[in-house]
A = this chain, B = another copy of it.
Amino acid sequence: MVTWNNLDTLASWKEVENAKVVNLPEVMAGENGADRVKKYSVPMAEGLVYNYAAKQVDDTILAALAKFADEAQLAEKFEVLYNGEMVNTGEKRLVLHHLTRAQLGDAVMADGVDKRAFYVEQQQKITEFANKVHAGEITNAAGEKFTTVVQIGIGGSDLGPRAIYLALENWAKKNDTFKMEAKFISNVDPDDAAAVLNSIDVAHSLFVLVSKSGTTLETLTNESFVKDALKNAGLDASKHMVAVTSETSPLAKSSDYLAAFFMDDYIGGRYSSSSAVGGAVLSLAFGPEVFAQFLDGAAAADKLAANKDLLQNPAMLDALIGVYERNVLGHLCTAVLPYSQALSRFPAHLQQLDMESNGKSVNRFGEPINYVTGPVIFGEPGTNGQHSFYQLLHQGTDIIPLQFIGYKNNQCGSDVVIQDSTSQQKLNANVVAQIVAFACGKADENHNKNFEGGRPSSIIIGEQVNPGSLGALLSHFENKVMFQGFAWNLNSFDQEGVQLGKVLAKRVLAHETDGALKAYSELLNI
C-alpha cells in the first residue's frame, strides 16, 4: 500500500536538506575528481551510462536521497502505475504508456480488454499497413508508391515523433532502412501547412492525422488545409490519409481515412511516442523493425527504472539529483545539451515532457504546496550552444544545472582529420572540456576571465544514436519526470494549465469579449 505525501512532510527530506553542501570545484580537482568520474556512474539500458560525477552530491547526500526514495516509496509508486492502478488523479485515468513497450508487471485490464494486447495489436496493424505501403500494395489512386509521410498533429503528437524522426533519419539512410521521408505539420499558423505542402509532392504523400480526441482544433484545421490541397490537385483525400486516434473519437470509423490506428485515454500526449502516435509515422519512415528496436530499448530502460536500489536506478537517481538541485540548491532551470546533431530537437521534446508534467503548484489531491516543483527546460546541441548561450552558463549570475548527452560514434561513419583529430574527437573533447570547466572553473586575476566553477552537470554516454539507444534515452527521461512527480507529490499526467487559454480563445473567436480581451482582439484584427 503506497501513501502519497508532500515532500516537505517526510522525515528523510530534512536529512537531505541538512546534508552539507558539496564544494564542487574542490571535489572535482585532481585525482579525487578522476575517482568520482569512475565511481559516480551507473549503467543504463542499451549500453548507455549515466555519469553524475560532476553533480553536487557525495556519499552522504546520496545516502540521504536513497532514504528519501524509500520513504517516498518511489519504486512502489512506479509499481502501482505499471500494474494499472489509477494514478492520473486529475483526469481519473490509468497511466499506461509503459505497456506500449512491454508487460512490466501484471496484466492490465481496462475497457474490457487486456491493454498490453491492445497496444501490441495496434502496432501489428501499423506494421502490416506500413509493409504494404513499402511493398507498393497500398498506393495512390494512380497505383504509384507513396514516397512521403506527413504527420499532422500538435504537442505530444508532434514533438516526440519529430525529434525521433530527426534523430534516426540519417542512421536509417546509412543502414538502408530508410523507407519514406517524413514531414510534420503542427502550428495553426497557415504558413506552417502551406510551407510543408509546397515542399512535397502531394500526389505521392500519405498523411497521418493524429488526435486522441479527434477534436484538437489546430489539427482538424490543418487537416482541412491539407484536404483542400489534395482536392485542388485532383486527388481523393480519403486515399491519402490515415488516422491515429482513440476508438471512441469521431475519426475512428470515418470513411475519410484509409485506416485508423488506436491509442487511448491512458496515454498522455507527451508520453505517446511509443504508442501509435509515434508508431505509425516512424514505421512508415523507417520500417516497423526499426520502430520495434526503439520499443525494445525503451522497454529495457523501463525495467531498470523498476529497481528499488537508487544507485542502480539511473532514472530515479537522475530524478532525485534534480529535486535536490531544485529544492535544496534552489536552481530554477536545467539545460539539456546533446553533443549530437541528430538530437537537435530532443530538448524541445523534453521541454514539453518535463514542463507540462511537473510545472504545477498543487499536489495530486489538488492542495497547494509549499515548495517549488518542475524546472524550466531548454537546450540546443553542442558544440553549437557553446557559441551561443554558454557564456551565461559559465559566467552568469545564476547557476543552471546541465544535462549533457554524448556518443562515442557518429551516425554517418565519415569523418575528416584536421589538426590531428577527427571531427568526432573534437566534438567529444568539447563535451569533456565543458564538464570540467563548469565544475572546476579557473581562477584569474582578471575578473572578466575568472571562472568560479561550481556549476553542476551530468552526462549520459552512449555508443551511437540508434533506435535502441534512443528508445532507452526517451524512456529514461519519461521515468525521470515521473519519479520527480512522485517526489513532489504531483499528478504528472494531466495539464489543466492549458485549459483557460483554450476557453478564452473560443470567446475571442466568437467575439464574446470585453475589457482587455476585446482591446487586444482589435489590435490583432480579429
Contact = CB atoms under 8 A, between A and B. Distances in A.
B442 A500 contact: yes
B225 A388 contact: no
Contact of A373 (B158, B390, B396, B526): B396
Contact of A430 (B53, B418, B505): B505
B381 A378 contact: no
Contact of A516 (B356, B416, B436): B436
A388 B519 contact: no
A109 interface: no
Nearest to A339: B189
Contacts of A410: 189-191, 194
The count of identical subunits is 2
A104 interface: no
Contact of A426 (B188, B192, B373): B188
A367 B519 contact: no
A441 B515 CA distance: 14
A120 B381 CA distance: 35
A516 B431 CA distance: 13
A391 B424 CA distance: 38
Contact of A432 (B173, B448, B449, B526): B526
Contact of A418 (B221, B432, B442): B221
Given A410-B190, A451-B500, A498-B386, A423 B517 contact: no
A473 B59 CA distance: 51
A397 B372 contact: yes
With most chain B CB atoms within 10 A of its CB, the pick from A51, A382, A412 is A412
B190 A497 contact: no
Given A394-B497, A461-B523, A520-B435, A351 B388 contact: yes
A511 to B, nearest CB: 10
Given A195-B169, A416-B224, A376 B400 contact: yes
B355 A501 contact: no
B333 A429 contact: no
Interface string A439-475: 1111000111111100000010100000000000000
A54 B523 CA distance: 14
Given A220-B418, A388-B351, A396 B359 contact: yes
